[in-house]
Amino acid sequence: MPVNPDAAQKLQIDLYRKMSGAQRLSIALGLHEMACDIARAGIKSRVPHASDIEVERQLHDRLMLARES
């Protein structure tokens, strides 16, 4: 049975409200790490010769730019 986007969003919010703060924080940290992994892969695909240290530096620079805006 298909669920429309509004009903799915309401269900998701209801589920989040039932979670503890620690559970919600765990989800947020997991999503942050997944986003960082995706960004690392993007950096590596644009600069294939970059060392792991360089990739982390570029990721850090991106995060700092996002934080400033």
Residue 3: band (very low, low, confident or very high) from pLDDT cuts 50, 70, 90: confident
Owning domain of residue 46: 5-68
Domain count, the chain: 1
Contacts of 11 (CB under 8 A, 6+ apart): 3
* DSSP assignment letter at 48: T
First-to-last C-alpha distance (Å) of the chain: 42
Q: Would you say residue 11 has pLDDT above 80?
A: yes
What's the pLDDT at 69?
Answer: 81
DSSP H helical segments within 1-69, as ranges? Answer: 5-18, 21-46, 52-68
Q: Would you say residue 1 has pLDDT above 80?
A: no
Cα angle vertex 58, ends 57, 61, to 5°? Answer: 90
The token duo for 26 is 């765990």
Q: What is the mean pLDDT of residues 47-68?
A: 95
